Amino acid sequence: MNKFFITIGLLAVSLGASAQLQLDRFFGSGMVLQREMPIRFSGTGTPGRAIVLYFGSKEVSTQVDARGRWQAYLPPAPANAAGQQLIVRMDTCRLVLHDILIGDIWVCAGQSNMEFMLKSDQNAAEALQQAGIPMLRLLNEVKQTSTYNSSYQLKDIAALYPENYYNGQWKVSDKDAAMGFSAVAFYFGKALVQQLKVPVGLIHVAVGGSPTEAWVRPASVQGDTALQKIFDSDWWNNLVLEPWCIQRGHENLDSLLKQGVVLPKDSLGYQHPFKPGFLYQAAIAPLTDFAIKGVIWYQGESNALSADRVTQHEALFKVLVTDWRRQWHQPALPFYYCQLSSISTESGYHSEYWPVFRDSQRRLTDSLPHTGMAVTSDVGDRTNVHPRDKRTVGERLALVALKDTYHQQVASTGPKPVKAVLRRQKVVVTFSDVEGKLKTADGKPLRGFSLDNGGPVPAIIRGNTVVIGVNGKVQILQYGWSPYTDANLCNGVGLPASTFALPVQ
């Protein structure tokens, strides 16, 4: 059966050939449909045959076109936590889905820190005891090949076709379903259900190690000379890409190639999860006809290994967000992301450019409307690129969504720097979003400030400002400007300030 279709959890009853009637990928028992937007059902059938759908008390008819495709729409519906049944009929063939809720759907994408499973979280024992949440539904789209350093086998070749790369099934959140699900996404969804009291569906598609360009639709960069270079040649020989990602492609595929195995490829080279555009085609393109509420994103480690890659990422991320919104026909689609955390270069990890990357991510929220960022540098791990506190991260993302998407009266961001001004041998930094007052997260003296790429300098809090004594002229004020940072400035509700660099006026 073609993996483009999910039929697990779906009852098929037929007196004829049931394989002729299918629902598309992402439809399944236990799923969530997006509230307050037209509800689209789609699939395949026998050309020319009539299709009749029954959902709750609604009925709609359509016809299979000459290509064997069909689609049907029901009008927008409010949130509904009562499970409903979908019946799809074509002649004597009938498909039945059970326990369908109506609520909000969030797509959860990125690389390994989004993929990081709940069972590995430092609070896993408590979280799994509380994972039975009937209004939280999880679709874990599991990648069918590894992206770690291993040689692919013959059985892996089928998964190198984008339409076969993922396989998943909707599940009601419980201990078994949640333990292998994204920890960040789980905590995000749990917080939304608790605060909104409506069903939430999470579709997880993250792939460990994946670079940003793997998630970008190639045609979206047309007209941008610099970004087009990402997609204009065989990716294994493309000097503008991250060498580590190319190396991983060789580690995965070379053994099969040496055996003379014919592997799927296109104009950009061999298919692989890290190939530019692959994950857009495999994960996002099939979803864009499926109404959603928003996207949460945790990615960047694979694009922060050099100064050129950081600069490239800033432009590429803008294209990604803008194009995903265009493909979903939702120009204001919420897109909330995690800032990179913190890790020391002493661990052997090449995180030299992480402060620059974190500051770039901070500034992107100003240039991209309907985006928001969760700061995570304060819950980093000095020696591990996969910090184990994902509850803090997921809950901070939820705060952003609760304020900006759901318009709840909550604080969602730490103090934001407004300007730095030199006054009588003192640099005075003004902040917004102080939520009452500035303070330190641990009650200890303020840490994390530096000047002109120098070492730490003393700083004190005065009201809504931070004051730093200086001798002579200063050009740049920096905060949290090291790969691993213990900077401790936060606002009145304990949300941390982001890494930043500001010109001193």
Question: Which CATH number belongs to the domain containing residue 134 in this structure?
Answer: 3.40.50.1110
Indicate whether 435 and 356 sit together in one domain.
no
Owning domain of residue 28: 11-100
Indicate whether 452 and 327 sit together in one domain.
no
Indicate whether 343 and 430 sit together in one domain.
no
Indicate whether 19 and 161 sit together in one domain.
no
Residue 438 lies in a domain: yes
Span 337-364, pLDDT tens digits: 999 999 999 989 999 999 999 999 999 9
Indicate whether 395 and 454 sit together in one domain.
no
Residue 6 lies in a domain: no
Indicate whether 430 and 375 sit together in one domain.
no
pLDDT at 19: 54
| CA–CA distance, 302 with 313 (Å, rounded to integer) | 10
Indicate whether 420 and 397 sit together in one domain.
no
pLDDT at 404: 98
Indicate whether 288 and 232 sit together in one domain.
yes
Indicate whether 185 and 260 sit together in one domain.
yes
Indicate whether 201 and 319 sit together in one domain.
yes
pTM for the model: 0.95
| CA–CA distance, 114 with 276 (Å, rounded to integer) | 19
Indicate whether 144 and 27 sit together in one domain.
no
Counting the structural domains of the chain, the total is 3
> Are 49 and 64 a contacting pair, CB within 8 Å?
yes
Span 370-426, pLDDT tens digits: 999 999 999 999 999 999 999 999 999 999 999 999 999 999 999 999 999 999 999
Look-up of token digits 């009291």:
197
Residue 88 lies in a domain: yes
Alpha-carbon distance values, 17 to 13, 45, 55, 94, 467 (Å): 10, 10, 23, 10, 75
Q: Which of 404, 439, 468 is the last residue of a domain?
A: 404
Q: Which of 66, 82, 100 is the last residue of a domain?
A: 100
Q: Which secondary-structure segment (H or E) carries 324?
A: helix 307-328
**CATH number of the domain residue 74 falls in:** 2.60.40.1930
Residue spans of the chain under pLDDT 50: 1-18
- Supply the DSSP symbol for 282: I
pLDDT at 472: 87
Indicate whether 111 and 54 sit together in one domain.
no
Alpha-carbon distance values, 150 to 252, 255, 256, 302 (Å): 6, 10, 12, 18
Residue 151 lies in a domain: yes
Residue 230 lies in a domain: yes
Q: Which of 81, 100, 119 is the last residue of a domain?
A: 100
